[in-house]
Structure 1
Amino acid sequence: MTIRKIILNLCLFFVLPSQAQTEKKIDNQTILWSRYYNQLTLNDKWSLHSEFDNRLFLNPVTENLFVIRTQIRYKLNEQVELGSGIGFYPVATQDPENISDFIIPEYRAQQDIIWKNTIGKILLNQRFQIDERFIRNASKTGLLPGTTFNWRFRFRIQAEYDLWKKNSRYLKTIVYEEILLNAGKSIVKNTFDQNRVYAALQYGINPKIAIELGYLNSFQQRSSGIDFYNRDIIRLSIFHKLKL
């Protein structure tokens, strides 16, 4: 049994005891995430990060959601970094076979702390993040007044390894695993949110531009407690660094 399966089974064991005898329903989906990520360095300590991310189902081809996110980051020292930001997530649909004619908006705040250290030639990156999610109430036919709030706690461990480097160009591999947990009055049966596993190659074209192509598997529990998404995600990212 892999480490990932052990972690996943532990999460399901602790947060789903009441559903242990219920057969799970798993929907398999394929999605393309394409994003532009801008990092504006203000000085040696402060930077402003902005992200635009479009997520598209591939079978059939249907819009999933769009992400607009910005955050301010502070470099405490060479090992520790702090961040805080806001995001807007208009969701078209979570089921490519069931397309609605309205968008469900979500507004999100986030705070995180990142700790970096080096083990041999591997850069190890650990992140703990808190999301405050405000999701617009909706029925199957339209939006309703008000929003539903819940917390989401995220822990990610990531490793990076340089395969090749010459002057300002490089090729490196990135792998990570992330566990996400829900909390709040609106969370009844899905305390476990999802487990993400990611592997990618990142190519630095010059000091300002890098391209990353990777595969992300997301196993996510839905609000029913017994329904799950198993998502195969292709992720294409363009990173753009600028200095003020």
Structure 2
Amino acid sequence: MKKFTAQYYLLLAFLTLLLLPNTTAAQSERIKDFNQNGWYMYFGDHSLTDKWGVHTELQIRRYNLLKDPQQLLIRTGVNYNITDNAMFTLGYGFIETYPYGDFPAADDFVEHRIYEQLQLKGSISRVGLLHRYRLEQRWVQSPITSDYTYLNRARYMLRATLPLAGTTIEAREPYLAAYDEVFIGFGNNIQRNIFDQNRAYLALGYRFSDAAALEVGYLNHIVQKASGMVFEHNHTLQVGLTYNIDFRKQ
């Protein structure tokens, strides 16, 4: 995973463009909904043994940066380290979404989610790379009837980090972070939003210690609603704290 060719990235960019609904007919039907959001997040991967660990995550997402609620996300999982550079996770997420934007949901609604995830680490020179592949099985509540609909979704994220002092990111050093993640719906009950979301992110990070880091950045978040007509363009402030506890030392 340490070396990747330029052709790989060109292919990835080409496939991403193909997946985006960018035909002239589709563009003529689009309704754009612009929002300013703030996501305030905590992430932790805690080692229990050399192979096993626990993932914990809390995200408080706000509409109008801080003023109004947008979403609450709680996610946990069991990690298994296949190698030093490969980790598999099986987990559960609880999500509560509130009405926001110019095309809000009729009421609050919740989602229960099971996910399977594979993370692969690599590098190109000083740039650290992370590939994250995730499958999600989603039970999404209707805000009108309270009934649940089952949905499948696949996600792929490519994340890069660049140290700003030295060749690696060490304690008490800043760094740059960027990622792009595409969401694709598939299976029964998918409507016109096979392309579900895209997230493009750029941030400045600071590693306080081997266990803790903070990132503050901008997320360009595009969401296609189920109708295929409404596209959210969410300009989002992200503040993320990572704190990993190694219980093997206890």
Using the size of structure 1 for normalisation, the TM-score is 0.87
Distance 1:4 1:95, change over 3 A: farther
**Greater displacement, 162-171 / 180-189:** 162-171
Distance 1:98 1:122, change over 3 A: closer
Alpha-carbon contact 2:65-2:237 (below 8 Å) kept: no
Which residue matches 1:125? 130
Moved over 4 A (4+): 3-9, 16-19, 96-100
Unmatched runs of 5 consecutive residues or more in structure 2:
1-10
Matching of residue 206 in structure 1 with residue 209 in structure 2:
yes
3-state secondary structure, aligned to 1:85? strand
Distance 1:25 1:208, change over 3 A: same
Mapped to 1, the partners of 2:29 and 2:103 lie a distance apart of 23
AA paired with 1:126?
H
Which structure is higher in strand share?
Answer: 1
Match of 1:228 among 231, 236, 239: 231
3-state secondary structure, aligned to 1:50? strand
Distance 1:162 1:239, change over 3 A: same
Quote how far apart the aligned CAs of 1:184 are: 2.5
Matching of residue 197 in structure 1 with residue 205 in structure 2:
no
AA paired with 2:85?
Q
After superposition, residues 129-208 of structure 1 pair within 5 angstroms as: 129-139=134-144, 144-164=145-165, 168-208=171-211
Unmatched runs of 5 consecutive residues or more in structure 1:
none
3-state secondary structure, aligned to 2:18? helix
Which residue matches 2:98? 92
Alpha-carbon contact 1:155-1:179 (below 8 Å) kept: yes
Mapped to 1, the partners of 2:102 and 2:59 lie a distance apart of 18
Quote how far apart the aligned CAs of 1:38 are: 2.5
Matching of residue 74 in structure 1 with residue 74 in structure 2:
no
Alpha-carbon contact 2:56-2:77 (below 8 Å) kept: yes
3-state secondary structure, aligned to 1:20? helix
Alpha-carbon contact 1:87-1:107 (below 8 Å) kept: yes
Mapped to 2, the partners of 1:123 and 1:61 lie a distance apart of 36
Give CA-to-partner distance per residue, 1:182-214, whole Å, 9 cap, x none: 113211211110111011121111233221111
Which residue matches 1:43? 49
AA paired with 1:74?
Y
Using the size of structure 2 for normalisation, the TM-score is 0.85
Mapped to 2, the partners of 1:152 and 1:99 lie a distance apart of 20
3-state secondary structure, aligned to 2:165? strand
Quote how far apart the aligned CAs of 1:59 are: 6.8
Report the aligned-residue RMSD. 2.7
Quote how far apart the aligned CAs of 1:153 are: 0.5
3-state secondary structure, aligned to 1:164? coil
Matching of residue 33 in structure 1 with residue 39 in structure 2:
yes
Mapped to 2, the partners of 1:119 and 1:223 lie a distance apart of 38
